[in-house]
Structure formats: C-alpha cells, structure tokens
Amino acid sequence: MYYVMIVSALYFVILMFSFRNIKDIFRRATYSKYNTLSGSELVPSVSLLVPAYNEELTIAENVRCLMTLNYPTYEVIVINDGSSDETLKVLIEEYGLTLLPNPEIRGNISTNKVRGIYYNPQYPQLYLIDKENGGKADSLNAGINLSRYPLISSIDADSLLEKDALIRMARMYMENPEETVAIGGDVRIANGCVIENGEVKDVSLPRRMWPMFQSIEYLKAFLGGRIGWSHFNGLIIVSGAFGLFRKDYVIAVGGYRGGYPGEDMNIIIKLHRYMLENKIKYRVSFCPEAVCWTQAPDSYNILSNQRKRWGRGNLKNMIENRDMVFNPKYKVMGLLTMPYNVIFEALNPYFRITGLLALLGYVLLDMTNWHVLVVFGLVNFLSGYLLSVGALILEEMAFRRYTKLSDLVKMLLFSALKFVGYHQLGVLWRVQGHIQYLQNNNSWGTMTRQSWKDKNEAA
C-alpha cells in the first residue's frame, strides 16, 4: 500500500512538471517560425538511419515519407539487416539502386559484414546498406559508419514522420547546440489513421482493442512522463522509433550496444555516463511537437512479445549500470532516474504482486477488513486513471491531434478499461520478460507487419 502511494505521488510530481512546461511547449509549437528554417543553410545536416529487418510491406512507404521532409540538407540511409523477405528487392526496384563499387566508409565501429551498398544518382540523398543479420543496434552502427553528417536520427522502418518533425527537432537543437546530445520525439499510434503517399492525412484512433490501449499508454508515457523528466535532464530513454543525436558523442561512447533488446535505453544511459564522468555540461531533451507515427501491435501474441522484450532490455540495462544507482557522482541520473527506474519500473511487478497477495491473505485470515482491500483497489484505480486523464488534458491543451468529441470520449473510456485486465497483463509480461532474461533469451520475437494500404482498409 505504501509502495503504491509513493509511486503514485512520484507520477503526479512528474506530471506536475509536465503541466508546468506545457504552456511554453504550446507557444513553441504554435508560434515558432520553424518553417523559415526549412531553406536555411544554418540548419545542421542530418543522417537518417533506418534499420530494416523483414519490412517489405512498409519500407517503400517509409522511405517515400523520409524523402519528402521539410528539411534543407539530409540523407536517408536504409540498413537491410539480412532480411529473409523482399525488403532489399523492394527498395532496389522502387528507386533503381545499383551496387556502389568503392563506397566511402567513414566510421570504424565494429559491425557484422556489409555485403554491399546501393545508390542511384537520381536520388542523391538515399543509400541502402545490405549487411548480414546482427540486430537493430548493429544496423544503426553500420549506418553511422557510412553517414556523412554531424547529426544522426534513428527511425523505425514501420514509422512515418510528419513533414515538419525533423525541422522542429533541429530548431530545438539549435537553441543549445553545445550542450544538446540527444533529443527524443513524440511517438503516436498510426493504427486507425488514413495514410496516403507516406503521410498521415486523417488522424483517428484505432478501432481495435490492443492498439487503442497502446494509444492511451503512449500519451501517458510521452506527454505525462517524458516532458516532466526532460525538465530535470533525467530522461533515461529516447525512443528508437524517432530520436536525434550528436554523432560525435555516439561514436565517443562506442556506438550502440548490440546483443540484446533495449539499445535505445542503453545509448542514452551511456551518453549520461560519459558526459557526467568527463564533467561535460549537457542535455538530453524531449520535443513533443516533433511527431512520429508508428504501427502498434494489433494482436495479443505480437504485443506480448514486444513487452517481454522491453522487460528484458530494461532489466539488463539496470543490472549492467547498477553502479550508477544512488551514486551522487551521476547527479540526477544516479540519485533520481536510475533509482526510480529500478524500484518503480523494473521491480514494480513484484511489489504489486506480493502486495496484493499480502492484502488478500490478511483478509482471508481476518487480520484486516475486506473494506480495506476495496478501498486500496479504488485508490489504485483512481490515481492511475487521473494520471491518464492528466495526459489527455496535456494533449488537448497543446496539440489537439484528435479533434472529434467521440475520440475524446473513447480515450477517457479506455483510460478506465485498461485497469481491467490490460494493466495486469502488462505486469505479467514484464515478469515473463525477466524470466527470459534469466534464461539468456535474446530473441526479438515475431513482429508481423501490415502494409499501410492494408492498415487504411482495416481502418
């Protein structure tokens, strides 16, 4: 009971700081003249890295989207990570790419063997790397080695960026280029939206249950959580779906760590560690107005595999960086973010399960009144529901992507329904992920995609 009270209080504190910053974010999102930067030579050039494994259904639409961003100078580097489907063939045929005889490799981060690099002068900003399978981190490192520009951005192959997303991030970076080492973007669920030519034309909520629950989760995590954590410079993760990084510091920490899921959290922890140990002033920021739309798992099996993988990655990162926990040397990361993540994220399932079993035992043994159990359940539900409602209020105050009244009602309904089964499944999946970690299971799990056309028809 005390644990739930403490974690709820901390969630509300983080949410409070999100509200504290939302007015500035709204003004920045609404009135910032970021579009004037689209043709400016002062905007730093960016290399977009797109790891792709068995993405034949979404990769063409993704690249089509990335090739038409409102940004002055950038390149798109797609990394085919030994796909067993037609991912490589789809891109080669779509853009008429041919094998480069003597490609210029600039970096030297160790990766699995690169089989070839493809290019077409008619699309000078597009490169395709074909390499042996090594995982997402290995693919990103291969992209870094080929990249030409000082900033890199990691983007999932099943995601679509809004046309102004990258320029909004660049504007935030240009406010403080010396200290900013990474910026995370806002990730939203595209299931239910109408997609045309690599662009979200009509925003709508998912019709299926599993993606709908995830929409509520993402709003709470990104708007209700990451805005607040960014205020403290305590972000522990920049989503692998969309993030911007200074390449020199990513190289300085040895690139992405391969061999297990959780590479997006690992690279941020490594950057925090490096900057603090070398006493370099820095910031890891969050730009909620830079939006990336992604396909969410729409079946139980795919979703459970994803969440188990996240659980494995989180636990491994905490164990490998346990020296940072409660270590004043690492400032906010050591004294707040890491302890919070260990106690209230990694160990959360065990406190909740044992606490609930203890309360049930007390009632069954007549050591307490059953009313206590009911009150505890109601308080737990109410606090969680209010946190979700708080994230929805932030959405309505600053962004209003969902303009229909029916969408707002649906979000309020699912914010309550997720505590009846879905929330408990999340606890189970995290425990199962921890068990897989102890079994040294580093598999990615099956992630079946649909083409954006099929998504439109389903919507």
Q: For residue 110, how many other CB atoms are within 10 A of its CB?
A: 12
What CATH number corresponds to the domain at position 123?
Answer: 3.90.550.10
Contacts of 367 (CB under 8 A, 6+ apart): 361
Q: Is residue 409 part of a domain?
A: no
Q: Are 80 and 55 in contact (CB under 8 A)?
A: no
Q: Is residue 374 part of a domain?
A: no
Q: Is residue 317 part of a domain?
A: no
User: Could you tell me if residue 213 is left (phi over 0), alpha (psi between -120 and 50 degrees) or otherwise beta?
Assistant: alpha
CA distance 440 to 332: 31
Long-range contacts of 130-136 (CB under 8 A, 24+ apart): 130/80, 130/88, 131/79, 131/80, 131/81, 131/82, 132/82, 133/53, 133/81, 133/82, 134/81, 134/82, 134/258, 135/81, 135/258, 135/259, 135/263, 135/444, 136/51, 136/53, 136/81, 136/240, 136/256, 136/263
Phi, psi (degrees; rounded to nearest 5) at 354: -65, -35
How confident is the prediction along the chain (459 residues), in pLDDT tens digits per residue? 678 788 888 999 999 999 999 888 888 777 666 667 777 778 999 999 999 999 998 899 899 999 999 999 999 999 999 999 999 999 999 999 999 998 989 999 999 999 999 999 999 999 999 999 999 999 999 999 999 999 999 999 989 999 999 999 999 999 999 999 999 999 999 999 998 888 888 999 999 999 999 999 999 999 999 999 999 999 999 999 999 999 999 999 999 998 778 899 999 999 999 999 999 999 999 999 999 999 999 999 999 999 999 999 999 999 999 999 999 999 999 999 999 999 999 999 998 888 778 777 877 777 777 777 777 778 888 988 999 999 999 999 888 889 889 999 999 999 999 999 999 999 999 999 999 999 988 766 556 666 655 555 454
Q: Is residue 80 part of a domain?
A: yes
Query: What pLDDT does residue 454 have?
Result: 54
CA distance 14 to 7: 11
Number of folded domains that form the chain = 1
Query: What pLDDT does residue 331 have?
Result: 96
- CA-CA distances (angstroms) from residue 243 to 265, 267, 324, 335, 377? 11, 11, 24, 25, 37
Phi, psi (degrees; rounded to nearest 5) at 85: -105, -155
- Residue 238 belongs to domain spanning: 35-300
Question: CA triplet 340, 343, 349: central angle to 5 degrees?
Answer: 125
Q: Is residue 178 part of a domain?
A: yes
Structural tokens at position 118: 């493809």
Q: Is residue 66 part of a domain?
A: yes
Query: What pLDDT does residue 168 have?
Result: 93
Q: Are 209 and 245 in contact (CB under 8 A)?
A: no
Query: What pLDDT does residue 5 have?
Result: 80
151-155 and 242-246 strand pairing: antiparallel
Q: Is residue 356 part of a domain?
A: no
Q: Say what the pTM is.
A: 0.93
Q: Are 146 and 103 in contact (CB under 8 A)?
A: yes
Contacts of 394 (CB under 8 A, 6+ apart): 18, 19, 22, 223, 224, 227
Q: Is residue 402 part of a domain?
A: no
**What does DSSP assign to residue 176?**
S
- CA-CA distances (angstroms) from residue 121 to 97, 240, 375? 9, 29, 67
